[in-house]
Amino acid sequence: MVDEAQLIRIAGAVRRFLEPAWLEWHRAWGEMPAVPSRWTDTRSSVFLQKVMREDFGLPATWRSGTPRLLPDGPDDCPYGFQTTQGWEAHAWVEVGGWIVDVTLDQHGGAPVVVAPASDPRYSAGEGPSALPEFSAGRSQAIEELWPKWQASEERQDLIGAPAR
């Protein structure tokens, strides 16, 4: 059984660790949004999944959704996260019946969310949602962060062991 309080602690530590990386990513992309987590949900959730699996042995799964227009009309397919304005592309992690989201503030939500996997505001799409070059960039960014995570105070505080 996955403990909600543990997930909140993990998600909070991962978010604190990622916040400086978001600024670096935005500088590299040449844009600085008002909300630093904007456009970082995919990388952030894949990184969170890696932390959950490798540091805690949790069977975390990365999920994402991108709304698509239906061929017969203007309504969109319900994928991603449902805001008051409609469905928005988004990514998160699911583990043990929970959704764990460290970037929902980009859509007006809390910075860290742990919610039941049945939360109707979240809907995962099917198949890859990124072009191969974006997937490769995401993987590279995560691999560059991993040694920094292993040596971080956030990780040390979280697992209660000296940083590597």
The pLDDT of residue 134: 62
Q: How many helices and strands, by DSSP H and E, does the chain display?
A: 4, 7
From residue 70, how far is each of 65, 83, 90 by CA, in Å? Answer: 15, 19, 19
CB 66 within 8 A of CB 129: yes
CB 61 within 8 A of CB 94: yes
Q: Within the chain, which residues score under 70 in pLDDT?
A: 69-76, 127-136, 161-164
Write down the residue that tokens 């604190």 correspond to.
16
The pLDDT of residue 70: 63
What is the average pLDDT value for the chain, to the nearest integer?
A: 89
What's the whole-model pTM score?
A: 0.89
The pLDDT of residue 163: 45
